[in-house]
């Protein structure tokens, strides 16, 4: 059922109704003149569906090793946490394994997920800094950026590679940014030791985002603000992992103060352990140990997270005192605008009916993807 009349919900504190026709929001606050099936929101708060641009897995499934059904399992798990759209992030891996992951994602993108909509593929690498590789396998990092590799990946993906993280200081990286844009790929900078001038050159070439700002990259120095400083000074969107482990709450508030509420994108960077107990897991080729919800390599390097976006929303509300509707912008409108997804990210006529109902504690009550109830 993707046509219905949603009633008894609260939108920014006010009683509201939403008319959904063929998976699209047709009207707000109108009567049910067409006699559509009624859906009772039970007085819950209505928010735009969440969008996770950067995640490596959840529910026991690692994106790099996932088959299509594994990706659908992730989609169903994400839907239970308010996510209506996501990109699967492929960690730097062998060419063979990367192509395998791309083809699995393409099938789900084109045939459907049964949960949160898989919107595209994020390639995190392989043109990344050795110094700030984080959990990236050093032996698989490229010493020179070549556009031919990404053309091959995009062809295999059927055009569904939508997002790429690279390090501006890798030889050839800045030079291929315009060509990546021509391939339909939004480019972010991260995992980088780049200085101020090199980072600005990347932004001028077309880089529009910074990957998990403050993690796995050169930090600010008064004599060289570096990639961190350029991310804050420029108009780039910045990703933020709001789990209280990757970033101090004060750092998140600093990002919001410097960038404004319209340029920060909340991500999870989650791994297969999200939704599961502490224990031993995988992240691409890496062995990961999760203790107290904190995912690390045996070396102690942090390796993704176990965060979900509904938890991130609660953290942002607590850390800033913002209304949930304002905090939710970081995981709805902002990622949609970054990626150019004009039908996503807001509750308005003409937008896809990607909706989430939450209770007073911001727990997810129900999730709708293009008008289909996929959770609750």
Residues identified as active-site: 269
Q: Which has the closest alpha carbon to 285: 302, 269, 303?
A: 303
SS3 313: helix
Residue 319 backbone phi and psi in degrees, to 5: -75, -25
Q: Which helix (H) or strand (E) holds 296?
A: strand 294-297
Question: What value, to the nearest 5°, has the Cα angle with vertex 64 and ends 59 and 65?
Answer: 70
d(CA 172, CA 135): 23
d(CA 229, CA 204): 15
d(CA 129, CA 143): 9
d(CA 374, CA 147): 38
Cα 277 off chain centre by: 23
Strand partners for 86 = 52, 118
Residue 224 backbone phi and psi in degrees, to 5: -155, 95
Q: Which has the closest alpha carbon to 166: 156, 158, 176?
A: 176
Neighbours of 164 (CB within 10 A): 26
Place of tokens 């807001």: 346
d(CA 140, CA 128): 10
Strand partners for 186 = 163
Strand partners for 287 = 282
For residues 10 and 44, is the Cβ–Cβ distance under 8 A?
yes
**Would you state the structure tokens that stand for residue 233, as one six-digit string?**
């000074």
**Would you state the structure tokens that stand for residue 92, as one six-digit string?**
């730097």
């Amino acid at each position: 059922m993707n046509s219905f009349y949603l009633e008894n919900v609260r939108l920014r504190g006010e009683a509201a109704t939403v008319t959904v026709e063929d998976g699209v929001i047709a009207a707000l606050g109108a009567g049910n003149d067409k006699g559509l099936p009624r859906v009772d929101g039970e007085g819950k708060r209505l928010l735009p569906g969440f969008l996770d641009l950067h995640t490596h897995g959840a529910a026991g499934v690692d994106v790099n090793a996932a088959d299509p059904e594994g990706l659908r399992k992730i989609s169903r798990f994400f839907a239970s946490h308010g996510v209506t759209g996501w990109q699967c992030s492929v960690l730097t891996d062998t060419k063979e394994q990367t192509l395998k992951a791309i083809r699995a994602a393409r099938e789900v993108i084109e045939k459907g997920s049964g949960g949160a909509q898989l919107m595209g593929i994020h390639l995190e690498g392989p043109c990344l800094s050795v110094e700030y590789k984080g959990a990236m396998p050093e032996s698989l990092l490229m010493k020179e950026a070549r556009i031919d590799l990404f053309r091959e990946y995009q062809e295999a993906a059927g055009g569904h590679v939508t997002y790429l993280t690279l390090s501006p200081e890798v030889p050839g990286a800045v030079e291929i940014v315009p060509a990546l844009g021509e391939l339909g790929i939004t480019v972010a900078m991260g995992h980088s030791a780049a200085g101020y001038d090199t980072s600005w050159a990347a932004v001028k070439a077309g880089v529009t985002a910074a990957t998990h700002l403050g993690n796995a990259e050169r930090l600010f120095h008064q004599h060289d603000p570096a990639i961190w400083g350029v991310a804050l000074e420029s108009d780039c969107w910045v990703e933020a992992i709001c789990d209280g482990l990757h970033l101090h709450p004060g750092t998140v508030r600093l990002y919001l103060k410097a960038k404004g509420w319209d340029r920060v994108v909340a991500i999870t960077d989650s791994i297969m352990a999200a939704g599961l107990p502490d224990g031993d897991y995988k992240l691409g080729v890496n062995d990961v140990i999760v203790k107290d919800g904190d995912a690390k390599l045996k070396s102690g390097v942090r390796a993704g997270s176990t965060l979900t976006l509904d938890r991130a929303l609660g953290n942002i509300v607590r850390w800033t005192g913002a209304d949930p509707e304002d905090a939710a912008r970081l995981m709805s409108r902002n990622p949609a605008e970054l990626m150019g997804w004009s039908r996503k990210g807001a509750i308005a006529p003409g937008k896809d009916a990607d909706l989430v109902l939450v209770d007073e504690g911001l727990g997810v009550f129900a999730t709708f993807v293009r008008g289909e109830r996929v959770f609750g």
